Amino acid sequence: MDKGASNFIHEIIERDIAAGKHGGRVHTRFPPEPNGYLHIGHAKSICLNFGTAAKYNGLCNLRFDDTNPTKEDPEYVEAIKEDVRWLGFDWEEREYYASDYFEQLYQYAVRLIEMGKAYVCDLSAEEIRAFRGTLTEPGRESPYRNRSPQENLDLFARMRAGEFPDGSRTLRAKIDMASGNLNMRDPVMYRIMRATHHRTGDAWCIYPTYDFTHCLSDSIEGITHSLCTLEFEDHRPLYDWFLDQLGVFHPQQIEFARLNLSYTVMSKRKLLKLVEGGHVAGWDDPRMPTLSGLRRRGCPPEAIRAFCDRIGVAKSNSVVDLALLEHAIREALDPRAPRRMAVLDPLKVVITNYPEDQEEELPAANHPKDPSMGERPVPFCREIYIERDDFMEDPPKKFYRLAPGREVRLRYAYFVRCQEVVKDDSGRIVELRCTYDPETRGGNAPDGRKVKATIHWVSARHAVPAEVRLYDRLFSEPDPAARERAGQDFIAALNPDSLVVRPNARIEPSLASARPGEPFQFERLGYFTQDGPDSTAGRPVFNRTVSLRDQWAKLKHKTKTG
Ligand code: ATP
Ligand code: MG
């Protein structure tokens, strides 16, 4: 990770350290709610929180903000831990849960009641909303606002004891119903909700709200710099109020812009809708912006870290081009992905002058720029497969690959010339009959003659059948969420061609031992990895991580050269 990069948050922290604030200590946390899988936006927060702690020799906690039992699940807790670890970060023994603080939070609430700063309110959720006012109109005070601390203490204890039905009462902070900030208009601190919590079971029938819990959890953990996204800027006065009223340790909240990526959605609610609606194969579908999806697709964690470094941390929201993420993935994969050959849409080629009973192994470099990655032998024989679209019977002017009578180079092998096209009854080309020049072994002609194209191939006798999945953007519109803002369903923006399956691909035999996540470049086709969940022993599935074409590099080049 680039420890030198600076951003406005690091500037604040450096000033704090210089001023001796918190004794120069830096302690951050990543606080996910376990109500879904982590996505690339969370990665920005993870890299920022763990990266900042590392940069200033501090600590970073992993804390689950688990105050919503009906939406949370231990499945999500486990997935989140796996993803943070995979990204390359370690919370050591500091794995915390807001639910571990429920008793202490209750005691804080009692203290606020005793101070006359909180009250039990009998308004329904709807009434509270109606009393709240709007941005232009002040709210109205609840008729229960002036209950005595004694009465409130008694009612709050009975709320906890389960004497009242769900939703019948709340505990509210007594702040200011006329505040210009709606968050300060006597916000709810506790609601009655009979729901089994994944950690506390049925111990509680009242649950603290996120706003009450979050700031105090940070305080309990001694978090010095509480980094959060911009939408919490308006909540900061409320957090300050709770912390100041209670006189407890006061973390400093600093807001930064959340990451938005084009051609995808990032809110967990929308991602859950994609999963539950069967629009994707699950949270880890390789088209999803989730970390588990990116991992399954073959994106290495260092690409995500480099991407997060590059986008930096800003104070205003913006949308990052998906092409920049793909660029980071290519940059990470290019130096370390061994080259291989695979044919996605095979067309059989019989080399008529190659002896039927002969086979040979040709050496092929694993990486064109890195000899230390060595070579592997690629088997060759009389029947091979080439890519169907590398042949044209009646080629247009700019098509230089195989055509009747034309000679091309087979990568790492020989020159071959197409002599005959074989078709089935329907006129579909089913086979090419070619001749090879034995003098061109390794790909060069001793007489110096040139060919205009080099194509990839696999040996028909040795290749392994495989399914290859090609992915495109999940949505065909850059901002699918705009549909929702216009009162429509964002599902309508899905790209119908986001997954294209090549069921009859053939891959070179050395790929049979590939492991999920292990990166390869299939020459001329892109970067690929084996799919963990769907591969079977006899039939591996490969996911294309990214194609070779780099739109971002092209864009950059254009702007540089004017
Ligand atoms: P979503 O809106 O996607 O459901 P969330 O903010 O509710 O996400 P949390 O689990 O509460 O999800 O998020 C954990 C942390 O990750 C929070 O500190 C949050 O600010 C941060 N985070 C979430 N989404 C993004 C994003 N797109 N960019 C940067 N940080 C994010
Ligand atoms: Mg949240």
Report the 10 Å Cβ neighbour count for 425.
5
The rounded distance, in Å, linking the Cα atoms of 28 and 50 is 7
Return phi, psi of residue 430, to 5°. -115, -15
The rounded distance, in Å, linking the Cα atoms of 562 and 553 is 14
Among 462, 547, 535, 542, smallest CA distance to 502 is for 542
Determine whether the shortest distance from the Cβ of 123 to ligand 1 is under 6 A: no
Determine whether the shortest distance from the Cβ of 519 to ligand 1 is under 6 A: no
Q: Quick one: pLDDT at residue 1?
A: 44
Q: Quick one: pLDDT at residue 557?
A: 57
- pLDDT at position 559 over 60: no
Residue position matching structure tokens 């506390």: 200
Active-site positions?
33, 258, 268
| Atom nearest to 267 CA in ligand 1 | 3
Beta strands in 125-186 (DSSP E): 170-173
Residue type, 426: S
In this structure, which residue's CA is closest to atom 16 in ligand 1? 42
DSSP 362: E
Q: Quick one: pLDDT at residue 258?
A: 95
- pLDDT at position 74 over 70: yes
Structure tokens at 282: 């699950």
State pLDDT tens for residues 371-413: 999 999 999 999 999 999 999 999 999 999 999 999 999 999 9
Which of the listed residues 46, 229, 271 should we mutate to test ligand 1's pocket, taking the one with most ligand atoms within 8 A of CB? 229
Residue type, 186: D
Q: Quick one: pLDDT at residue 538?
A: 86
DSSP string covering 157-201, please? HHHHTT-S-TTS-EEEE---TT-SSGGGSS-EEEEE----BTTTB
In this structure, which residue's CA is closest to atom 9 in ligand 1? 32
Q: Are 508 and 378 in contact (CB under 8 A)?
A: yes
State pLDDT tens for residues 510-537: 999 999 999 999 999 999 999 999 999 8
Q: Ligand 1 centre and the CA of 42: distance in Å? A: 5
Domains and CATH numbers, the chain: 8-258 (3.40.50.620), 268-338+466-561 (2.40.240.10), 342-456 (2.40.240.10)
Determine whether the shortest distance from the Cβ of 311 to ligand 1 is under 6 A: no
Residue position matching structure tokens 């790209």: 495
Return phi, psi of residue 234, to 5°. -70, -15
Q: Are 297 and 541 in contact (CB under 8 A)?
A: no
Q: Ligand 2 centre and the CA of 3: distance in Å? A: 28
Beta strands in 42-186 (DSSP E): 59-64, 95-97, 118-121, 170-173
State pLDDT tens for residues 404-447: 999 999 999 999 999 999 999 999 999 999 999 999 999 999 99
| Atom nearest to 38 CA in ligand 1 | 10
User: Mean pLDDT for the chain?
Assistant: 96
In this structure, which residue's CA is closest to atom 18 in ligand 1? 228
Mean pLDDT on 96-106? 98
Mean pLDDT on 43-66? 98
Determine whether the shortest distance from the Cβ of 44 to ligand 1 is under 6 A: yes
Structure tokens at 70: 């009906």
Q: Ligand 1 centre and the CA of 33: distance in Å? A: 8
pLDDT band at 317 (very low <50, low <70, confident <90, very high): confident
Structure tokens at 147: 């209950």
The rounded distance, in Å, linking the Cα atoms of 65 and 154 is 28
Strands 457-459 and 383-387 come out as antiparallel
Instruction: Give percent of the chain above pLDDT 90.
Output: 95
State pLDDT tens for residues 468-494: 999 999 999 999 999 999 999 999 999
The rounded distance, in Å, linking the Cα atoms of 285 and 514 is 20
Determine whether the shortest distance from the Cβ of 58 to ligand 1 is under 6 A: no
Q: Quick one: pLDDT at residue 545?
A: 98
Which of the listed residues 29, 35, 42 should we mutate to test ligand 1's pocket, taking the one with most ligand atoms within 8 A of CB? 42
Q: Ligand 2 centre and the CA of 509: distance in Å? A: 47
Hey, CA dihedral for 284, 288, 289, 293, is it positive or negative?
Answer: positive
The rounded distance, in Å, linking the Cα atoms of 119 and 234 is 23
Strand-pairing partners, residue 360, are 380
Q: Quick one: pLDDT at residue 251?
A: 97
The rounded distance, in Å, linking the Cα atoms of 25 and 222 is 10
Q: Quick one: pLDDT at residue 561?
A: 38
Determine whether the shortest distance from the Cβ of 229 to ligand 1 is under 6 A: yes
Question: What's the order of all strands across the beta sheet hosting 464-471?
Answer: 339-340, 520-522, 526-530, 541-546, 464-471, 499-507, 342-343
Helix (H/G/I), strand (E/B), else coil: 224: coil
Nearest ligand for residue 42 CA: 1
In this structure, which residue's CA is closest to atom 22 in ligand 1? 42
Beta strands in 332-390 (DSSP E): 339-340, 342-343, 346-351, 360-365, 375-380, 383-387
Residue position matching structure tokens 């031992």: 513
Q: Quick one: pLDDT at residue 3?
A: 47
The rounded distance, in Å, linking the Cα atoms of 359 and 356 is 8
Which of the listed residues 45, 313, 322 should we mutate to test ligand 1's pocket, taking the one with most ligand atoms within 8 A of CB? 45
State pLDDT tens for residues 289-309: 999 999 999 999 999 999 999
Determine whether the shortest distance from the Cβ of 45 to ligand 1 is under 6 A: yes
Structure tokens at 32: 């996910």
The rounded distance, in Å, linking the Cα atoms of 529 and 337 is 10
Q: Ligand 2 centre and the CA of 198: distance in Å? A: 18
Mean pLDDT on 74-83? 97
Beta strands in 31-145 (DSSP E): 59-64, 95-97, 118-121
Q: Quick one: pLDDT at residue 553?
A: 66
Structure tokens at 290: 């989730």
Determine whether the shortest distance from the Cβ of 268 to ligand 1 is under 6 A: yes
State pLDDT tens for residues 84-93: 999 999 999 9
What are the CA-CA distances from residue 525 to residues 324, 472, 545 (Å)?
Answer: 19, 14, 11
